[in-house]
Amino acid sequence: MRVMIVKDYDEMSREAAKIMAKQMKTKPNSVLGLATGGTPVGTYRELIRMDLDFSGLTTFNLDEYYGLGPDHRQSYHHFMFDNLFNHVNMNPERVHIPDGRAKDVKAFCEKYEDEIKRAGGIDLQLLGIGRDGHIAFNEPGSSLTARTQLVALAEETIEDNARFFDRKDDVPSFAISMGCGTIMEARKLLLLANGEGKADAVAALIEGPITSQITASVLQMHPDATVIIDEAAASKLKRRGYYKHTDRLFRDLEEKGGR
C-alpha cells in the first residue's frame, strides 16, 4: 500500500485527479469505479478543469440509497451527474449506478456484477472511508468477500449523511452497495480521506489488523492500493515519517520515468 500524506483537501484532490487522469490517458477506454460523498467532490472538480476525454470510459458507482430514484436530489445518481457527468463528455449509456428502485434487488445485484465482468473489470476504483472505517456501504461486520448486495446502514453512517438531507429521518436505512470482494477485484484502488474526523479510521485502515470491523482494512491485501490523506487525517498514524519518506522516493522515481 502506498500512503501519500499531503497538506490539505485541495492538494489531496489534485493528486487524486492526477492519478485518475493518468489512467484515462494511458487507457482511454478504462473502466472506472466511482465514489460519492463530500470527499471526492474536489477530485471531480479537478478532472473537469483538466478538460479530459471521457467519451471512451465506462463507469460503475459503488452504491446507491435503496428507495431513492435517479431524480431524487439526494440520490447518488443525481450527485454524479451534478458533480461530474454533466460537465464532461461522458457517454450516459456507459454510466452504471445501482438502481435504488429495483423491485428484485437480488436479481439486480447479480446483473450489476455481471455488467462489471462484461466490461472487463474495473481498472481503477476510487474510494472514500467512513468514520467507522467502512468502504462503500460495507459497514463494520460486513463480509470481506461479499459481492454487490442490499445492506442496512449503521446508525453512525445515517448520522453522518443526515447533513445532506432536510432531516435525519429522511436518510434511507438501506443501500445497494458493491461488496468488499467486488472492490478488491479492481486492478487499482485509490482511497481518499481528509480531516481529523477520519484520523482513527485511517490509522485502523493502514496500521491496524485486517478485520471485518474495519472493512477498509482489507485494502492491505490489495497489490496496487494508494491512499491519499491530508495531515489532519494522518495525525494518528505511528509511522508518518516512514510514509513521507517512501512517498518522496516514489515521486523521485516517477520523475525519472522509472514507474
Interatomic CA distance for residues 72 and 117, integer angstroms: 29
Active site residue 160: no
Among 91, 83, 93, which residue's Cα sits nearest to residue 34?
A: 83
Residue with cell 481529523: 196
Among 169, 255, 199, 250, which residue's Cα sits nearest to residue 1?
A: 250
Provide the 3-class DSSP secondary structure of residue 35.
coil
Catalytic residue among 15, 46, 63, 64: 63
Active site residue 63: yes
Catalytic residue among 15, 46, 64, 134: 134
Catalytic residue among 15, 99, 123, 132: 132
CA 52 to chain CA centroid, Å, is 20
Catalytic residue among 99, 113, 139, 230: 139
138, 215 Cβ separation under 8 angstroms: yes
136, 200 Cβ separation under 8 angstroms: no
Active site residues: 63, 132, 134, 139
